[in-house]
Structure 1
Amino acid sequence: MADSGNVHDSCEVTSTGSDERNSHWVGPQLLTKMVTKSRWKMLAGLVLVLVMAWYSISREERYIHLFSFPVQVDDKTTCPQGEVEKKTTLLIGNYTRDHPLFLQLKDYFWEKTPSSYELPYGTKGSEDSLLRLLAITSSSVPESIHSMKCRRCAVVGNGHRLRNSSMGEAINKYDVVIRLNNAPVHGYEQDVGSKTTMRLFYPESAHFNPRKENNPDTLLVLVPFKPMDFQWMETILNDKKRKPTTGLLAITLALHFCDLVHIAGFGYPDSTNKKQTIHYYEQITLKSMAASEHNVSHEALAIKKMLELGVVKNLTYF
């Protein structure tokens, strides 16, 4: 029994010793396999990152190639008369240039054809205010623009991409420069130019002192979104106490009287980039637009559709 016990003990010792010896060999092998697998995983991950980066850059380059072009606008530029009208009919079903751009009292159309929609899509409920407003004002496209054989227009958005763009000189070469809301010109001339033919705005986005950022002959265009907007304009014109995406409308306006429509400064930062400013002149970010009624994605799709059809061309990548 004693011998048996000794044998058992020696076997246990031998077994343990064998495990220890094997551990010296098996351990490094396992470690080598683990390192090899980790290395392949790291390489695979690196390759994936590089592929994603390449795809992102490639996609960006494709968009830049599709939605931008070299700026070469001068008096010798051939006027593509009729092209904008032809292409816009593919985009807007009831498109026509037969109607005036701006309402006048003689266009009292809602008396015969009442609108079924309220502002901003119709005049329902605002007829009386609109009638009073048109009774004390009358505007039309200036004769200096109306008489042009070729109207080359630039619609200048307020996007961050205009900052440090040095687009000012190119923008000033257009016959008609349309600006939006209260976007400043003074101090940003190198990037956005100094010429302003029309400025579209709504009451909350109007300049308190419009003479500062506009030319003396700038045509100020009210874009009403609610009944109170007519009342606001009425108080301004009657010298009473003042009350406290336009971009798409500006482009649409240009499509109805321009022979050439180029845009600059449109587009928003990526939705994941909450800290990127959306304007070239202030620090407002995309996050601040969360409570607004702007549908950024739909606006982007609409403009890209115009660009793809060739209705407009882009001076800054979209």
Structure 2
Amino acid sequence: MITILKIAKTSFITLVLGVLLVISYNFSHVMLQSYGLSEKPLTFNRVLCHSSWKWESLNFNVSRRTKLFLKLKDFFWDQHTLSLPLPYGTMGSKLILQKILATLTNSDMPGIVDSLKCRSCVVVGNGISNKNSSLGDVINKYDVVIRLNNAPVRGYEEDVGNKTTMRFFYPESASYNPIVHNQPDTLMVLVPFKQEDLSWLNWIVHNEKRVMKGFWRPPPLVWLGELNQLRILDPFFMYSTATHLLQIPIFDKTATTKNPFHPTTGILAVYVALNYCDVVHLAGFGYPRKDDPEQLIHYYGHNTMKDMVHSYHNLIHEVQALRRLEDSGAILHLRPNS
């Protein structure tokens, strides 16, 4: 009789433990999907990669092109397909690109990221919604963290984390000392909008004479970043962002406006992530209402909506595009306490 009671007691304990394990697993699964949070990166990736949506469901062309950066061989035996000027092609810039790329010895993503079967990525925007969000620990869990321009990290870790895999920038948004707000292995990815942007990079790489003409804001005359961490984004992605995602007319010789609209660095980074990553989440995207010109737009600094009045970006198209992406399940916005 005592033996039977012991067996029954053991079976009951086993059953309870089993139920608790199932509940714990289901709860963890839901929390991971909601927050993108896990103690183990492998579990984190595996859960995030169990996505039900398909790339084919998107109503624009995502090529799933995972070679992101220009290489020297692109201008020799590989034919570059975009016969357009910057920012949509390399026409008129091939000689200076050859000179720069001949000095940059690496044009790839880190092997540890490139070899992942499933890449979880988060694009961290600079929007005011990041302020007091407490998303820092969540952001640090992703395989790839993409940041934009000169957005600071130090002092804001609780809200935006401190991991940075890639930082997209252009000369006017460059920091003279990128080590301050980036990790030593962060890839600094130049997005060339105009010929002067490549001229600036050429000064930096070859220490040539600085000419400040052609910039809307003075770029740093000295750049203390590591050249082996420097990359140049292939203009293919800017072209595809404009034509496939935003569906805005690109600059050409027949353009009727002197200053045509170009995609922002943020929406460009989202499109790059859709090509390279298997899971794409966003934090800090979106602008405040236009009817409040004094509203701050960044989680740092003092820029307001009135600073966007003369922007060469079509923000309406970008908001609509992000909404389509979220509705299709291609991206997920991380929000505080979501």
Q: What's the TM-score once normalised by structure 2's chain length?
A: 0.68
Residue 253 (structure 2) pairs with residue 285 (structure 1) = no
Greater CA deviation, 106-115 or 257-266?
A: 106-115
CA contact (8 A) 2:53 2:329 kept: no
Q: Which of 164, 180, 184 is residue 148 of structure 2 equivalent to?
A: 180
More helix by share: 1
Distance 2:87 2:52 in 1: 25
Q: Which runs of 5+ in 2 are unaligned?
A: 1-32, 213-218, 220-263
Rg: which structure is higher? 1
1:103-142 superposed matches below 5 A:
103-108=70-75, 112=79, 115-137=82-104, 138-142=106-110
1:262 counterpart residue number: 281
Quickly say closer, same or farther: Cα 1:80–1:112, change in 2 above 3 A.
same
**Counterparts of 1:149 and 1:200 in 2: how far apart (Å)?**
24
Q: CA deviation at 1:208?
A: 1.4
Asked if residue 214 in structure 1 is aligned to residue 182 in structure 2, the reply is yes
Aligned-CA RMSD value = 2.5
Deviations 1:205-237 (A, max 9, x none): 011110000001001100010011111111111
Aligned AA for 2:313?
H
* Equivalent runs, 1:1-318 vs 2, <5 Å: 70-74=34-38, 75=40, 76-77=43-44, 78-79=46-47, 81=49, 86-87=54-55, 90-93=58-61, 95-97=63-65, 100-108=67-75, 112=79, 115-137=82-104, 138-240=106-208, 244=219, 245-316=264-335
Residue 94 of structure 1 deviates from its aligned partner by: 5.9
Judged with a 3 Å threshold, the aligned counterparts in structure 2 of structure 1 residues 94 and 184 are, in CA distance, closer, same or farther, namely closer
Give, in whole Å, the separation in 2 of the partners of 1:206 and 1:95. Answer: 29
Alpha-carbon distance, 1:129 to partner? 1.6
Asked whether the 8 Å contact 1:84–1:311 carries over to 2, the reply is no
Identity %: 49
Q: Number of paired residues? A: 249
Check whether the contact 1:198–1:218 (CA below 8 A) recurs between aligned residues. yes
Distance 1:237 1:314 in 2: 37
Q: 1:101-146: CA deviations, max 9, x gaps? A: 1110112279745643211111222122222221111321111111
The secondary structure found in structure 1 opposite 2:122 is strand
The whole-number CA distance in structure 2 between the counterparts of 1:260 and 1:94 is 14
